[in-house]
Structure 1
Amino acid sequence: MNRVLARKQLRTNVCGTTKIFRRTFSTHPVSTSGSNEKSNAKTNSIEDDSPQHDIAIVGGGMVGIALAASLASKPLTKHLNVAIIDNNPLLGRKSTIEKGHPPDPRVSTVTPATISFLKGIGAWKYIEEQRHAYFDKMQVWDYTGLGYTRYNAKDVDQDILGCVVENKVLQSSQLSCVQESDLQKTIYPARLNSMNMLPSSSLTGLGEVPSTTDLFMRGRLAKLELSDGNNVYAKLVVGADGSKSRVRELAGIKTTGWNYSQNAIICTVEHTVENFTAWQRFLPNGPIALLPIGDKFSNIVWTMDPTEASDRKSMSEDDFIKAVNDALDYGYGPHPETTGSGGSSLSWLTGDVNISAKERFETPPKVVKLSSERMMFPLSLRHAKDYVSNRVALVGDSAHTVHPLAGQGVNLGFADASALSRAIAEGIALGTDIGEANLLKRYEAERKPANIAMMAVLDGIQKMYAVNFGPLNALRAAAFHGAHYISPLKKRIISYASGEQSLPLFS
């Protein structure tokens, strides 16, 4: 009798809590028990108390929260019941970014296409209230001094080429959108331990309101077992849990790719003047990027072999600043010529061209101070052979990881989130089960070719600069000159990097 009364009390609590989920962000999941192998009435009653959601997003990082915010912004999906599973204890709490503090070294360069997406879901207004840095110019060159190119937003009739934003600002801004929406959302502060789903079968013979257990047994729900002992059921499970995705592993989705023999060091540095340009120089062991982040701060992303990276990470601040300035100035080789191409060995490519002031080679502003810790991480390329399977979809780094040399990784992830939310909305409009593989394949068909193309471009650039060989150096210089002086090609490259057009050479 006591157990029956306790079960009734639990059901009452669950119903009350569900109403709260409609307006607030809950981090107090409902506890469950029971085995899915039993089908008697007693077991069904216990299983019915387990939380059932339309979508379970595993991973509460920038891309996972972007998907939730995108769903919250659409009329057809804004009332869905969504679970966000992430063991970050700070997720869901009101985040305040301290003004006056140096920027965090973990930043992202968002393209105009991503900015449009963030405006569409309502997040950009929150980003603009916090530190960020637009840039309208970009300069790329290499250590040989044979060539360089400068891109200007005006070349494609735009105001900006991109914006650098701290990752925590991106995440907190999107969380604000989710928190203020009508989306029914629950945060589960736990890790995903296991995931189970059964083949779909007919619902014939079930009552008007099938139980959670019945739906699971008929293959209409996936069951997620969490590290805190809770079970969660969902029609669709989205893996947004990074390059070592547990969802991808449990779904049995294989990957292809390789590790680069390179590590990246990231940190925040300070200048005496504000930086408004994105700079990137290719060095013998990998590129170094200097990205504006506002208030006389810039972000460094320096790629090199693991031994050199360890040395750079541990050297004194003064030595590190000297190494950075050398890498961005005369270190490793001379500046490219800025007097025109008429006297160049590559004049056959461009003719005798006069270089305007805005196109002349410039030296980046000197770094005067290290303003954050130096963080180091290994680089790799990974691509999932499938982005979807029955009741599972992968987004962001769970589906693909790329070299950071062009800062495109998070932009690909945001594009994934946008495309998947559209596919889910289309499925709801058609009355389709949002977890069916046939519907999810539409998302894969849209994103897979675009991601593969970008991965191929970035990997090709990485490999082209991994070898110091005379004829190849000349070929690279020819590519620089073509990108700098051939206006239609230049516009194509800028538009492609902005996320607004297809490949510059094949469309």
Structure 2
Amino acid sequence: MICLQRIRYIRTFCASKAISSHYDIVIVGGGLVGSAMACAIGKNSSLSSKKILLLDSLKTVQPKVREEDWYSNRVSAIAPSSVELFENLNVWKQISVKAQPVSSLYIEDGCSESRISFKQSKPSSPVAYIVENWRIVNALHQCLRESLNINWKQETSFCELSLPENLDESVVLKLDNGEVVESSLLIAADGANSKVREISGLKYTNEDYGQSCIVGSLEISPSQNDIKNTIAWQRFMPTGPIGILPLNEMLSSLAWTTSTSEAKRLLELPNEEFVKELNGALVDHSGHNKIIDGPLNCFSNILNSIPFLASSENFVFPTILSMPNNDRAAFPLSLIHAHDYIGNRLALIGDAAHRIHPMAGLGVNLGWSDVVNLTNTLEIAVKEGGDLGSLIYLKNFDAKSQRKNVPIMTAIDLLNSLFSTNFLPSVFVRSVGVNLLDRLWPAKDLMVKYTS
């Protein structure tokens, strides 16, 4: 009852408020996805006449003079499709200055001898680029400054929100600076703990994995397979995957998923002890079982004897030398998915609509895919003389984004469950499947293409 009263209050608060400004689109959230959304609208010729408000609760990230080999502990793996978006926004040149190309992805099971590698079908095409988040945001913010139709309010959010029940009304927001604004469309890019999503009443799934991801910058001794450090490495352990992403020839970024209690213990270790445990985890074979490895090796030998199957690559993980920046941190992991990404005059994008396990590094790319889909939808609405907030158009965005996101989210969730166990039958089944898939290069090419 309290919740219903709260929603009723929110929806009616604007009756006594004077509207300060009207906007065609209001975007809440100025991070990786929200800023890209604003830039995409501002750069689109069909939408350039629209009046846009971007509410950004944070200050601009100011570039600092840093050592050449200094890197932040928060990075993203930028897929080729996202590179295309940034090229269209004229920000890729700025982002790519310190973008490390990933030539391939090597994955190993910590409970068996199974392993798999992924590459682009064209050797010259990277699987992804690893870039610090702040560099991406800075480039997008520069784009915002150059957009004449975007009112970018920093250190500003909303304190009250009225969402319409039909298209006869507008979205109304009271900002924390006292202004009251209305809009034809509200785009929520305010993250996994989206305030807009909560107020909207849209149903969503929220599953706590009971895991945390430790991040930090690593100094490495490159693997014999990868002298230039262009390979992304991942080792699946029963407690979660360990990911090592290349930053330059000598530095990599860590993403170590483990139980929340174990993450807390690891964070409290001195740097030297932490590095020692990390190196141990990368070569640990204590979880192997002869009952699994014996038949699996026989199966691998049979596969190797089949002429039309590709051969499996042998690889050795890099050795971690130190954590030069002493920048370890951890964040909790969960699965969040809104059952609908839209409502009347409302669209959810990025983590506000979906949050996935970071094992594949795809999360923010799904958000940027939302940006492309929603921009295309709004362009169609304008060309047809339609209402930007109409469900007639927004349903197309919802359907297209869900068709891409749901299969990927489901697959990653299943993989996390499948690899987060040392139950022998499960280990054997997944090991056989991984070893077979590793030799089916057409299937691997399709997987790389779909997730790119």
TM-score, shorter chain, exceeding 0.5: yes
Which amino acid is 2:145 matched to? Q
Native 8 Å contact 1:83 1:188 kept in 2: no
What whole-Å deviation, never above 9, does each CA across 1:224-247 have from its counterpart, x for those lacking one?
Answer: 112232212111111000011011
Task: Report if the CA contact (8 A) 2:213-2:330 is conserved.
Answer: yes
SS at match of 1:345: helix
Task: Describe the SS at the equivalent of 1:434.
Answer: coil
Task: Tell me the equivalent position of 1:369.
Answer: 322
For residues 291-306 of structure 1, what are the structure 2 equivalents within 5 Å?
Answer: 291-306=245-260
Residue 215 of structure 2 corresponds to: 266
What residue identity is the alignment partner of 1:111? A
Q: Aligned ranges for residues 217-256 of structure 1 at < 5 Å?
A: 218-219=168-169, 221-256=170-205
Measured in 1, the distance between the counterparts of 2:289 and 2:77 equals 26
Give SS of 1:368's match: strand
2:139 matches 1:173: yes
**Cα distance in structure 1, aligned partners of 2:337 and 2:350:** 10
Looking at structure 2, the residues matched to 182 and 332 of structure 1 have their Cα atoms a distance apart, in angstroms, of 60
Tell me which residue corresponds to 1:113: 81
Shift of 1:344: 2.2
| 1:502 paired residue number | none
Q: For residue 135 of structure 1, what is the amino acid of its counterpart?
A: V
1:97, distance to aligned residue in structure 2 (A): 6.5
**How do 1:454-493 residues align onto structure 2 when only pairs under 5 Å count?**
454-493=408-447
Q: Is the 8 A contact 2:164 2:345 kept in 1?
A: no
What is the match of residue 357 of structure 2? 403
CA distance in 1, matches of 2:249, 2:139: 20
State the match for 2:4 in structure 1.
none
Aligned residues: 430
Shift of 1:384: 0.5
Provide the residue aligned with 2:9 in structure 1: none
TM (norm. structure 1) is 0.80
Name which of 93, 96, 100 aligns with 1:125.
93
Query: What CA distance in whole angstroms lies between the structure 2 residues aligned with 1:121 and 1:423?
Result: 17
Alignment map for 1:181-192 (pairs within 5 Å): 181-192=147-158
Alignment-mate amino acid for residue 291 of structure 1: L
What's the counterpart of residue 35 of structure 2? 65
C-alpha separation between the residues in 1 aligned to 2:393 and 2:118?
Answer: 40
- Verify the 8 A CA contact 1:104 1:372 in the aligned structure 2: no
Query: Matched residue of 2:38: which SS?
Result: helix
Query: Post-superposition shift, 1:99?
Result: 4.9
1:418 to 1:133, Cα distance in 2 relative to 1, 3 A? same
- The equivalent residue for 1:309 is 263
1:473–1:443 distance in 2 versus 1, CA, 3 Å: same
Return the alpha-carbon distance in structure 1 between the equivalents of residues 118 and 307 of structure 2. Answer: 17
Q: Match of 2:10?
A: none
Shift of 1:496: 2.2
For the residue of structure 1 that corresponds to 2:49, the secondary structure is coil
Q: TM-score scaled by structure 2? A: 0.89
Which structure 1 residue ranges, 5 or more long, are not aligned? 1-34, 202-217, 499-507
The aligned counterpart of 2:373 is 419
Q: Secondary structure at the match of 1:326?
A: helix
In the TM superposition, residue 343 of structure 1 has moved relative to its aligned partner by 5.5
Q: Per the alignment, in what secondary structure is the counterpart of residue 37 of structure 1?
A: helix
Given residue 103 of structure 2, which amino acid in structure 1 is its aligned partner? D
Spell out, residue by residue over 1:91-118, the C-alpha distance to the aligned partner (whole angstroms, 9 max, x if none): 3x76456352521111000111111111
Q: Note if contact 2:310-2:441 (Cα within 8 Å) is conserved in structure 1.
A: no
Q: Secondary structure at the match of 1:377?
A: strand
2:104 to 126, 132, 137: 137
| 1:263-306 Cα deviation digits (max 9, x unpaired) | 11111111245521000000121100000012521010001111
Contact 1:420 1:443 survives alignment (8 Å) = yes
Q: Which residue is equivalent to 2:388? A: 434
Cα distance in 2, alignment partners of residues 257 and 438 from structure 1: 28
| SS of residue paired to 1:431 | coil
Percent identical residues: 27
Equivalent position SS for 2:205:
strand
Inter-CA distance 284–200: structure 2 relative to 1 (3 Å threshold): closer
Give, in angstroms, the shift of residue 410 of structure 1.
0.3
Partner of 1:280: 234
Name the structure 2 match of 1:360: 313
Q: What is the CA-CA distance between 1:134 and the residue it aligns to?
A: 0.3
- State the shift of 1:355 in Å: 9.9
Rg (Cα) greater in structure = 1
Q: In structure 2, how many angstroms separate the alpha carbons of the residues matched to 1:225 and 1:293?
A: 42
Counterpart CA distance in 2 for 1:354 and 1:319 is: 46
- Pick from 73, 86, 91: which aligns with 2:56? 86
What is aligned with 1:13? none
Q: CA separation in 1, counterparts of 2:447 and 2:427?
A: 21
CA distance in 2, matches of 1:272, 1:281: 17
Q: Secondary structure at the match of 2:87?
A: helix
Shift of the alpha carbon at 1:478? 1.3
Classify 1:292/1:427 alpha carbon distance in 2 versus 1 (closer, same or farther; 3 Å). Answer: same
RMSD (CA atoms): 2.5
Residues 27-42 of structure 1 aligned to structure 2 (within 5 Å): 36-37=14-15
Secondary structure of 1:98's counterpart equals: coil
CA distance in 1, matches of 2:431, 2:173: 53
Structure 2 Cα separation of the partners of residues 450 and 469 of structure 1: 31
- The answer to which of 362-371 and 455-464 deviates more is 362-371
Q: With CA pairs under 8 Å and 6+ residues apart, which has the higher RCO, 1 or 2?
A: 2
* Residues in 2 aligned to 1:489 and 1:198: alpha-carbon distance in whole angstroms: 46
Name the CA distance, whole Å, in 1 between partners of 2:297 and 2:160. 65
Structure 2: unaligned runs, 5 residues or longer: 1-12, 223-227
Residues 412 and 451, structure 1, Cα contact 8 Å, conserved in 2: yes
Distance of 1:472 and 1:139 partners within structure 2 = 21
User: Per-residue CA shift, 1:112-157, capped at 9, x if unaligned?
Assistant: 111111112211111123x22001121001112321012233x356
